[in-house]
Structure 1
Amino acid sequence: MNKFFIMVGHTFMNRVKTKSFLITTLVSLILITALSNIQTIIEAFSDGEEGDKIALISDNEEWASTLVDTIAVNDSLTLERVDQSLEKAKQAVKEGTYESVVKITTGENGLPEATYFAEQIASTENSEPIKQALQQIKVGIATEEAGVDQATLQQISSPVTFNTIALEESAKSEEELAQTRGLVYVMLFLLYMSVIMYGSMIATEVATEKSSRVMEILISSVSPVSQMFAKIIGIALVGILQFSLILLVGYLGIQQGGEGSIMEGFGLSDIQGSIIAFAILFFILGYMLYATLAATLGSLVSRLEDAQQMISPMVYLILAAFFISIFGLNAPDSTFITVTSYIPFFSPLIMFLRVGMLDIPVWEVILSVGVLVGSIALLAWFGARVYSGGVLLYGKSSSFKDIKKAMQLSKKEG
C-alpha cells in the first residue's frame, strides 16, 4: 500500500510541475476573474469617454427633437443636430468629427424615412438604436392619424401577462430552475473538460512510461493494477487542485463582482446544497468511469502519437453526452432524455440534469447511480485485466484487436 501512495504522489507531482499545468491554470484563473467582473472592466475602460457623436440632418423640427430626446437616454450615443449639407456632414465623418450621419426625410405617405451614412456599416451598434427610436416616432404618427390615443397604443404594445405555475407542490419554481440551469451548464463544462484534459493525461502518462521503458522497472516492483489506479487517483488530485482554484476564484469573483458578474446571470449565487451534492457525486462517478476507460486504452499504446487516436472513442462518447445534455436543458422530461440518463457513459451528465431540472423519484436516482457504480466496477475489472497485459505490449498500436492480446498476456502474468 505504501508503494501505491508513492506512485499516486509521483504522478501528482509530475503533472503539477509541468509547464502545461501551470500555464493552463494561470490562464483559466485570469479568464474566470475577467468574466466575473466583465461589467466592471468595461466600465473602467469607458470611464470619462463620451459616447459616439452622430450628426442628424432633418427638416422636421418635431421629429428631430423627439429623436434626440429618445436617444439621449443611451449613454453610448450622442445625437447632434447639424445645420449643414449632407456632403459636408459626410466629410465630417471622414475627418473623424462624427462617427456617422443620419438624414431624416418625409416619405410619400407622410411618414419619416431615414438614411444612415458611416465609414463602415458592418456594426449595427449605433444604427439600430436610431432605427428603433425612429420606428416609435413613425408608429406614434400613424396611430395619431388613425385616431388611436396613446393609452390604447401602450396597451396594445405592452407584453401579455403570462404566469407559469406548477401544480405539483414539490416542483421547482422559475427561480430554482434558473439557478439549477446555471449549475448544469457549469457541470457540463467541467466534466467535459475534465474528460478531455485528464483522460488524455492518463493515456499519455502510460504511453510515456512505456516509450521510455520505465514501465519495465515499475512492473517488477508494483502490480499493473496498482499502477492503473495510482495514475487515475494521482491525476484526479491534479484535477481537484486545478478546479478548486478555478472555483475559488470564480466564487470570489461572484461575491465581489455583484451585478457586474457574468456568473451572477447564470444564477450561481444561491444554489441548494442538495444540488451541489449531486453535482459532486455525478462528477466523481463520471470521472472514475472515463478515467478507467482512458487508462485501459492508454495501456494499449507505447507511442504518444498513438495515444490520442486510441482514446478518440472516449472523446466521442463525452461529446455525445454533452450535446444530448444541451438538448435536454430545454426538454428535460422528454422520453429520449429519460432513457439516456440510464446509459452509463451518459448518465453522469444527463441524470444530473434531470435531478436538477425536475422533481424525479428517488428510486430513479438510486437506479442510475447503481448502474453507474456497477459499470465502473465492471470496467475497472476489465480494465485491470487489459492494463496488466497492455503495459507489456510494445510497438505501433492503433487497433482494438490489441485488447485480445493484452487479455492473453494478462492471463500468462496471472
Structure 2
Amino acid sequence: MHKFWVVMSQVYKKNAKSGSWIFLVLSPLLFLAIGFGIAFYIAKTQAPAQVAVVSDVSAVSQALSKQNNDDLHFKVYSSSKKADAALNDEKVDGILTVNAKDQFRSRYVSRDNGQEVDKTTLVTALSGLKLSSTAASMHLTAAQVSALTQPPMVSTKTVAIENGKQVTKSNSTQLMNHGVAVVAMILILMVTMVYGSILAQEIATEKGSRIMEILLSSVSATTQFFGKLAGIFALLLTQLAIYVVAGVISWQFVKNQSFVSGVLKQFDFSILVSGTTAMIVVFFIIGTLTYSVLAALTGSLVSNQEQVQQAAMPISMLGLIGYFITIAAQSSDSALAQITSYVPFLNVFVMPTQMSLGRASMGEAWISVAISLVFLVLFTMFTVKVYRNNVLVYSGSGLWQSMKTSFSIWKSERSVAKK
C-alpha cells in the first residue's frame, strides 16, 4: 500500500507543479473575473435615462415624477422653452410633452446621442394616469376602477408523463435541472479530454523514456496503474476544491450586488438538492472514472510521447459522440437517445439530460448506473491486464498493432498458465 501512495503522490505533485495545469485551473477563474468586472462596470456606469416632462396640467407632471425607477427618471419642467434648453445642454435625453386635456396626447423628442427610452415604457406610465383621470371624471370609486383593470387570472403548471400518469413538475425546477445537466455534460467533456490527455501523456512519457524497466523492478505494473489513476483523480478533485473555495469567497463580495440578486431571484436553487441533481453527480463521477480508465488503456498502447494524440483520439471521439447525441436529445426523444442512455461511455452524457427533461425515471437512471458500474469494473480489470502486458512493449506501430501485440502476450500467458 505504501508503494501505491508513493506513485500517487509523485504523479500528483509533478502535475500540480506544472505550468499547464496551473493555467488550466486559473484560466476559467480569470475569464469569470473579467466577465463579472465588465458586467459590474456596465451596471455601475449606466445611469438611468433622464426625460424632461412638460404638461398643461402640473399634477400630471408631478405624478410622472413619482414613477422614477432604476432605468428612467422624469424631470419636471414648467415650460417647453426650459425643457428645450436642457436638451440642448444635454442635461436630459429627451422631452415628453403631455397634453392631458386632450386625451393625454403626447409627443416625445429624443436626443440622438442620448440614452434610448422604450416607447412602451412611456405609454405604460401615461396609461395609468389617463385611467385615473378618466375614472375621476366618471366619478368611479377605487374599487370600481380596480375591478375594471383587474386582469383575468390564468394558472399554469407543467406535468411529465411517468408510467402513463401525470406528475406535476415545476417550471423553475425543470429549467434548473436542465441547466445542471448541460453544465455536467460540458464538465464531463472537458474533464475527459483534458485529464484523459494528461493521464495518457503520463504513461507515454514514462514508456518513451524507458524508465519503466527501473520502475517495474520495485513497483508492480498494477500498483503503478492504480497509483497513476488515483493521482490524476486527486488532481481533478483539487481543481474542483479550488473552484468551490473561490466560489465561496467570491460569493461574499457579489451577493449584495443589485444586478446579481436580480438574476438570482429568477431561479429556485433549492432544487439543487433534488434526486435528479444527485443522480447527475453520480453520472459525473462514473463518467470521469470510466474515461480515465480508457485514457490509461490507450496511453499504455503508445510507445512514446509523440503518439499521445493517437491515445487521446478515442477519448475525444466518444466524448463528442455523446455530446452531439445529447444536443439532439434536447429537441426530441429519439430512439437513439433512449438506447444510448444505457450504453457505457455515452450514457453519462445522455441520461442526465433525459432525466432533466422528464423522459427518464429515477428507476431507469439506476439501471443505467448499475450497467455503468458493472462495465467500469470489468473494463478496469481488462485495462489492468492490457497495461501490465503492454507497458514494456515499444513496437511504435500505433494503437492497433499495440493492441494485437498485447492480445498475443495475453494468449501466451494463458497458455503457460494452463500448462
TM score, norm. by length of structure 2: 0.69
Q: Distance in 1 between matches of 2:405 and 2:57?
A: 86
| Cα distance change of structure 1 residues 265 and 326 upon mapping to structure 2, 3 Å threshold | farther
Unaligned runs of 5+ in 2: 135-143, 414-419
1:235 equivalent to 2:265? Answer no
1:7 aligned partner? 7
| Cα distance change of structure 1 residues 78 and 404 upon mapping to structure 2, 3 Å threshold | same
1:365 aligned partner? 365
Q: Tell whether the 8 Å contact from 1:55 to 1:79 is kept in structure 2 after alignment.
A: yes
1:407 equivalent to 2:406? Answer yes
The residue identity in structure 2 corresponding to 1:352 is: P
1:163 equivalent to 2:164? Answer no
Aligned identity (percent) is 25
Query: What's the CA shift string for 1:47-82, capped at 9, x where partnerless?
Result: xx78255465989889x9599648x53324445578
| Cα distance change of structure 1 residues 392 and 361 upon mapping to structure 2, 3 Å threshold | same
Q: Distance in 1 between matches of 2:289 and 2:338?
A: 22
| Cα distance change of structure 1 residues 264 and 200 upon mapping to structure 2, 3 Å threshold | farther
| Cα distance change of structure 1 residues 154 and 323 upon mapping to structure 2, 3 Å threshold | farther
- RMSD, aligned CA: 4.9
Q: Distance in 2 between matches of 1:323 and 1:60?
A: 63
Q: Distance in 1 between matches of 2:402 and 2:54?
A: 79
Q: Structure 2 matches for 1:294-373, cutoff 5 A?
A: 294-304=295-305, 306-325=307-326, 328=329, 335-355=335-355, 358=358, 363-373=363-373
**For structure 1, which segment, 50-59 or 7-16, has the greater mean C-alpha deviation from structure 2 after superposition?**
50-59
| Cα distance change of structure 1 residues 203 and 344 upon mapping to structure 2, 3 Å threshold | same
2:286 aligned partner? 285
SS in 2 for 1:162: coil
Q: Distance in 1 between matches of 2:381 and 2:228?
A: 16
| Residue number among 123, 131, 140 corresponding to 2:119 in the alignment | 131
Of structures 1 and 2, the one scoring higher in RCO (CA 8 A, sep 6+) is: 1
Query: What's the CA shift string for 1:152-207, capped at 9, x where partnerless?
Result: 98567x78443345685865444543553454344334323321221121122122
1:75 aligned partner? 70
Query: What's the CA shift string for 1:383-414, capped at 9, x where partnerless?
Result: 3344332652365x6x5433434425644884
Query: What's the CA shift string for 1:103-122, capped at 9, x where partnerless?
Result: 8899xxx97675654449xx
The residue identity in structure 2 corresponding to 1:163 is: K
1:42 equivalent to 2:43? Answer no
| Cα distance change of structure 1 residues 238 and 202 upon mapping to structure 2, 3 Å threshold | same
Query: What's the CA shift string for 1:244-289, capped at 9, x where partnerless?
Result: 3323443566688378466775544453364454334322211111
1:383 aligned partner? 383
Q: Distance in 1 between matches of 2:160 and 2:362?
A: 20
Q: Structure 2 matches for 1:210-249, cutoff 5 A?
A: 210-249=207-246
The residue identity in structure 2 corresponding to 1:4 is: F
Aligned length, in residue pairs: 390
The residue identity in structure 2 corresponding to 1:75 is: D
| Cα distance change of structure 1 residues 12 and 59 upon mapping to structure 2, 3 Å threshold | same
The residue identity in structure 2 corresponding to 1:127 is: E
Q: Tell whether the 8 Å contact from 1:32 to 1:249 is kept in structure 2 after alignment.
A: no
| Cα distance change of structure 1 residues 8 and 266 upon mapping to structure 2, 3 Å threshold | farther
Q: Distance in 2 between matches of 1:292 and 1:206?
A: 12
TM score, norm. by length of structure 1: 0.70
| Cα distance change of structure 1 residues 166 and 90 upon mapping to structure 2, 3 Å threshold | same
Q: Tell whether the 8 Å contact from 2:212 to 2:391 is kept in structure 1 after alignment.
A: no
Q: Distance in 2 between matches of 1:359 and 1:340?
A: 13
Larger Rg: 2
2:203 aligned partner? 206
The residue identity in structure 2 corresponding to 1:42 is: F
Q: Distance in 2 between matches of 1:267 and 1:252?
A: 22
| Cα distance change of structure 1 residues 230 and 170 upon mapping to structure 2, 3 Å threshold | farther
Q: Distance in 2 between matches of 1:325 and 1:3?
A: 41
| Cα distance change of structure 1 residues 274 and 322 upon mapping to structure 2, 3 Å threshold | same
